[in-house]
Amino acid sequence: MPLPDCLEVLRRNGRSVKLDIKEGGELVDEVLEVVDAFGFADETLWFNGSIESLGKDGFGRPRSERPGAILQSPIDFLVPLLLAAPQLAENVLEALRDWGVTRVSMDWRTPGVRDVLDVVEGLGWEVNLYGVPDLESFLEAALLPASVTADFNFPEWDYDGRGPARAVPVTSNA
């Protein structure tokens, strides 16, 4: 479904929206233009993007145009540093805050993520846990002081929530 069509349905139904921006540059401006066209309030917007894709400028544009929106970035690369040298990781997190990032996310499957959750929150960050693969993991993650994004892979129900980065398997009916 094209982005404008999707946003139109969400806006018409009073829903909030999370936009996962995979590229920086002009794409950020295009996304902001489309969002503006539908009149979403800042509080209903959640922008997510990686440091590699967006960089300082890519985070800065949504922050300046939509100051009340959530601006999130994954920080899985910092988990080993958070475990070994939290002060060094804190410097990186402060740079993200200076760029306008308001929330960080971590992949549930990253080794050590449960051990650093308290450290990250202790530094004043809201955390979103993503990549939660199944019901048991979801129930465990839901008990933590973080928001949770789950693909809900339940093979016993013949349901595979592939998530944004997983390929759709080719199947044959022959």
Please report the pLDDT score of residue 171 as a whole number: 42
Match 């019901």 to its residue by tokens. 135
User: What is the pTM for the complete model shown?
Assistant: 0.81
Strands 103-107 and 70-74: parallel
- Average pLDDT for residues 127-156, to the nearest whole number? 83
**What residues make up the domain containing 21?**
1-70
Query: Is 63 strand, coil or helix?
Result: helix
62 and 87, same domain (yes or no): no
pLDDT in tens, 67-106: 999 999 999 999 999 999 998 999 999 999 999 999 999 9
55 and 124, same domain (yes or no): no
Which of 70, 93, 110 is the last residue in one of the domains? 70
86 and 7, same domain (yes or no): no
Please report the pLDDT score of residue 170 as a whole number: 40
pLDDT in tens, 17-76: 999 989 888 889 999 999 999 999 999 999 999 999 999 999 999 999 999 999 999 999
Which of 12, 44, 70 is the last residue in one of the domains? 70
Which of 70, 90, 116 is the last residue in one of the domains? 70
